[in-house]
Each structure stands twice: as structure tokens, then as C-alpha cells.
Amino acid sequence: MRRRTGLPALAAALLLGISACSIVPTSSPTVPITQAPTRPVQDVGFEPLPPAPGATPEEVVRGFIDAAGSRVRGRPVAAEYLAPDAARTWTDATSITIVSQGYATVAGEAGSVEVTAARVGSVDPRGSFAVAGADPYTYAFPLAEVGGEWRITDPPDTLVMLDSDFERVYDRVDAYFLDPTLTQLVPDPRYLIRGEAQPTALVERLIEGAAPTLAPGVENPLTGARLARTVTVEDSTARVDLAGLMVEPATPLRELCAQLVWTLTQLDDLGIRSVEISVDGEPLELEDVPQRQTIDDWSTFDPEATPLPAVGHYLDETGALRRVTDGQPAPGPAGQAGAGLTSAAASADPRTGELTFLVGVRPEPGSASLLRGRYAGELAPVPFGGGTLSSPTVAVTSQEIWLLRNGVEIVRVSADGAPQGVGAPTLSTLGAAQVIELSPDGVRLAVVAADARGVRRLYVGTVVQDEEPRFAVRDFIEVTPGLSSVVDVAWRSAGELWVLAGEPGEQQLYSVFVDGWDLATEGRAGLPARPTALAAAPGRPPLVVAGDSLWQWSGQRWVTLLRGQEPVRGSAPFYPL
């Protein structure tokens, strides 16, 4: 579970829709979970204070907002800032609005106080996150005197929380679901209040299903199940007892176990290393799987796995394909000097990791041509009928490559057969698409598009597959609204993006979670110039082009591809998947 220091910027996070209990679907009984475990010693000083005698209306409103940062169930201190009638009906089991710390309060007539703040983001009660736009948050708090003290009479219908409090109180964890092939885990970020209730809350989130925008693109083996009792943790083992699960030959039990194990073992603070799963009180028995399951038992489902030969590639000055590790030409015609490619992508056999499929884009007078063939073999033109082509992209879960044609059409290209269009009914509303990047699991698609004013923004949509199979991309969401000059994007992991944004000569690298939370600036120490292109893959060092040469990230600074040697000139880096 990744954590960063510093405050979130330009993005937001989500948290549980209910602080007193978590809710499973309406067809299942509710399992109460305490959201107020014993506070660690280091948090004692952060518990909000009740209203001070004689507090002004502005002090009361600010105290109420501070009290939202409590970890105590129901946030009783917050209720003390409310008038009696409001306190009786107020609940923190509602949607969340996260705002920045530098908010303003202006006292009005009759004790009212208007709050204006920069929005960071919001979350609905189901836990679905929405990135905040440019509009500020405003609310006029009405107050009245109660027994000589000012109290709020009509609080907002959303819990207003400062970003610093949210980051202090909540952890980001992933609820894992399965891609349509049932071979790859797909992260769906959730934010849980810290403490011993996290395992139960997280399993309930799995049972509820993926976020509405992601759900059409994933499978959930836990559909229809419910928790028979609270998840317990003892001796580094989480014990999960399910009910309502139909155990039959068609039930994807192995996938269900992988889903639970990878999800629960993220909880580092609770020390979970293994998971025991039972159904209706009886241990779930699978062949060759121990009762105490660990991620080693489900390593093939590793959400950050990439093929073993996923060695970075790039193009030299003649458009020939070369390998990052040694600077040598890739085998076959694509690696020969003068190949003339401007971009390329390669796919690996998911069973063996062997690189099997290669496509490349070559410029032609007034258009571009697409070449495809066996990796290390001859490349043949793909009949496209002209037009502009983007750099191709690939996912771990399929041996096909996607790219943009004429900035408006997404096309799938396999090793043989005619190219097939991908439905994207709302793509044109984003503007002229310029870059697309499939997530490693193939369930999400990042798109850089320029609107009518030429402003380039980053969106992420969900890839949906039907039974034919045909593909579509739906529910595009802008994840970095604060960045308006996006140049390039790459997936550092299945749940994290690296973004290159900025006007020419001012480009800067950023990282951000797929839900838009925690936009952070990445360093450029060691680079001779501003980066102009990038590539990334799970478990591999990011690559950038800067000053017409290739550089890779060491974890602290950018270094040359070959240790102790001069920078290598090149362009269009990528990782085969």
C-alpha cells in the first residue's frame, strides 16, 4: 500500500460512506463494524475540541469543519457545534466533500457564516470518487444563539473535511476485481479509516462490487455472497467466513480466493500475511492450496506482473528498433538501420512471456502506414486506407494492439485479420484525441485529447467487452483537471499514472492515482533538458526522452541507459506487454 508525504493536490480521495457501519447490498444482512478502534498514541493530539465558551460564529463553523477529522464513530464532537434540533437529525453517514485548508469564512447578518473553499474532490455514499472541477465550494452556515452560545442550525448535507485531515485519518487501499479473462486483478481504489475495522470494511466493499464506472469492465466472483461475521485477524492471518455463496463447478473459487488474498494482504498496519476462507463455517478447500493462503499461492494473479522479457525498447535516429538494456538492435527487419518507424509496440505471449507480435508506424506522404508481423520477423502493411495514426499501445491480457486513427477512431489490431473498430461514443466530446494508453490489465484506457481551444487534458475510460467479442470504451473521467497541457501519459502500475504536462520548454512529470488522488510532481534531477516523451510499466523503471536522448529512472534521479556511458540518442520508448 503506497503512501506519500505531503498534502494532496488538484485531486481527491474517497472514504467510507458510513462511519458507524459498512453496508453490503440490500439483499444481504448488514454486518456492523466498529469504525472507532483504539486511537494510536501518535493520534491523541489530533482529536478535535468541543466548542469553547463564547465562541464567535466563525469559530463555531471552523470548529465544526475541524471536527470532521475525528476518528470517533459518529463524530460526536461535531454534533456539539449544532443546535439541538440539528444535532438530533445530523449524521456523518453521508457523501463527503474534501476541501483545501486555506478556506475563507465571512460573517454575515444574523450570525450566518459563508464558507468558500477550493474543492479537492467528493465521494458519494457508495464510495465512488469524483474529481473536483474548477468551481469552488461555498455554503452559508446559518447559526442561532442557544443558551447564549452560537450553534449551527442547518449544517450541509455532505460531510466537509479538510484534505490534511483526510490524509491523516484514511488509508488508500485497493479492492481487487477480475478482468474479463479472469486472469488479472484490477484495482478499484478505496479509502478506509485507519484501525482494526479495515478488513471487514474492505471485504464488504468487494461484495458490494466495483465502482459504477468500473463495474461494466470487470468480473466479481463475490457477487451474491455476504459476510457471515466480522473478519478477524490473529497471528497475521485474516479469517473470512462467507455465506450465500453457491459452491458449484462453475463458481470461480480460485479467482475468488486470489481476489480476497491480494486485497486483504495490503493492510500493512494490521500485519496480514495470510487469509483463511470459509463458507457457511466450513473451510473452503481447493486442490494444492493450503488453508492459510498467501499471495505466493496466487502469484499468477499479481496485479503488477509483466512478462519476464518486458525489456524497454526505443527507436534510434533512423527509425530502427533497439533494446534499452544493451542498446543493440532488436532482432529482425525492424531492428535494421533505416527501418523508418516513428513509433512501435510489442505484445508477449501471456503463457510463456515470449515476445510474439510487433507493430510499427511509418510515415507516408500525407498519412501514415501501419506495419505488423511476428516479433523478429518480417513486417507487412495493414490495410487502413490512409490517415494519421497515434503511437500504438498494448495490455498484458491480450495479444493485440490498439491505436488511434485520425484522432477520432480507436482501432484494435491483432496478429492477423482485419483491424476492428472500438466503440467510443463519447470520445468525440473530449476533443481531438492524440494519445491513448491501455492499462496493463486492459480494463482502462487513458486518453489525451485537445478541446476546441487546443487545451490538452487527460481522461480515463473503462474498456467493456461483450460476448461477440466486441469492445467499447465508456465513462471517460478527467483525472487531472489542474493540468491543461498534457503531452504524454503512461501506466506506472495498474492503478497509477505518470503524466507529462506543460507548454514546450516547461514540461514537468507528475504521478497520480487512477482515481485522481494525490497528484505529485516527480523529480527531473539528472535530465539535460525538459522531458518530451515517456514510457512506463509495472516493475520497470520509467523511461523519458530529454534532449533527444533516452534516460531511465533510478528511483532518485534520471540516469543514462547504460551505466557509465554517454546518453543514447533515441525516441518513442515503450515496454512490451
Summarize pLDDT for 370-413 with one digit per residue, the tens: 999 999 999 999 988 778 999 999 998 888 999 999 999 999 99
Verify that 418 and 536 share a domain, yes or no: yes
User: What type of residue is 327?
Assistant: G
Same domain, 244 and 359: no
Give a yes or no: residue 379 inside a domain. yes
Distances (CA, A) of 5 to 101, 164, 166, 167, 519: 16, 11, 13, 9, 12
Residues 361, 250 share a domain: no
Asked whether residue 249 is assigned to any structural domain, the reply reads: yes
Q: Is the pLDDT of residue 23 over 70?
A: no
**How far, in Å, CA of 173 to CA of 314, rounded?**
34
- Reported as a pLDDT band with limits 50, 70 and 90, residue 468 is low
Is it the case that residue 516 has pLDDT exceeding 60?
A: yes
Q: Which of 151, 168, 185 is the last residue of a domain?
A: 168
pLDDT reported for residue 561? 93
Tens-digit pLDDT profile for residues 453-464: 999 999 999 999
Rounded to whole angstroms, the Cα distance separating 52 from 58 reads 12
Backbone φ and ψ of 262, nearest 5°: -65, -35
State how beta strands 274-279 and 237-243 pair. Answer: parallel
In a domain, 18, yes or no: no
98: pLDDT confidence band, cut at 50, 70 and 90?
very high
C-alpha cell at 386: 490512409
Q: Are 12 and 120 in contact (CB under 8 A)?
A: yes
Whether the bond between 76 and the residue before it is cis, its omega within 30 degrees of 0, is: no
Out of 275, 301, 327, a domain closes at: 301
Q: Which helix (H) or strand (E) holds 531?
A: strand 531-537
SS3 track for 106-175: EECHHHCEEEEECEEEEECCCCCEEECCCCCEEEEECEEEECCEEEECCCCCCEEEEHHHHHHHEEEEEE
- Same-domain check for residues 260 and 380: no
Q: Is the pLDDT score of 349 beyond 80?
A: yes
Tell whether 292 and 367 lie within a shared domain: no
The pLDDT of 128-134, averaged and rounded, is: 82
Identify the bridge partners of residue 143 per DSSP, sorted by sequence position: 152
Q: Is the pLDDT of residue 437 over 90?
A: yes
Is the pLDDT at 39 greater than 90, yes or no? no
In a domain, 236, yes or no: yes
* Residue appearing with cell numbers 496480514: 272
The DSSP output letter for 75 is -
Average pLDDT, the chain: 88
Confidence label for 42 from pLDDT (cuts 50, 70 and 90): very low
Is residue 28 assigned to a domain? no
- Greatest C-alpha distance within the chain: 86
Place of cell 484494435: 412
Q: Cell digits for 254? A: 480460485
Q: Are 96 and 245 part of one and the same domain? A: no
DSSP state of 269: G
Q: Is residue 33 part of a domain?
A: no
Q: Provide mean pLDDT across the span 56-64.
A: 97
Pair (292, 159) in one structural domain: no
Q: Indicate which CATH number applies to the domain containing 407.
A: 2.120.10.30
CATH classification at residue 147: 3.10.450
Side chain identity, residue 280: D
Say how far residue 363 (Cα) sits from the centre of its chain. Answer: 34
Q: Examine residue 402 and state whether it is found in any structural domain, yes or no.
A: yes
Same domain, 108 and 49: yes
Report pLDDT for 220: 97
Number of folded domains in the chain? Answer: 3
Taking 70 as the threshold, does the pLDDT of residue 1 lie above it? no
Do 150 and 198 lie in one domain? The reply is no
Which band of pLDDT confidence, cut at 50, 70 and 90, is reported for residue 27?
very low
Confidence of residue 467 (pLDDT cuts 50, 70, 90): low
Among 3-17, 51-65, 327-341, 525-539, which stretch is predicted with the lowest mean pLDDT?
A: 3-17
Percent of the chain predicted with pLDDT > 70: 91
Angle at 28 between CA 23 and CA 29, to 5 degrees: 70
**Domain carrying residue 75:** 41-168
Instruction: Report whether pLDDT(95) > 90.
Output: no
Chosen domain end from 115, 146, 168: 168
- Asked whether residue 392 is domain-assigned, the answer is yes
Indicate whether 430 and 526 sit together in one domain: yes
My answer on whether 197 and 223 are in the same domain is yes
The residue type of 237 is T
pLDDT the model gives residue 133:
86
Q: Which three cell numbers stand for residue 360?
A: 510499427
Position 22 scores a pLDDT of 29
One domain for residues 220 and 273: yes
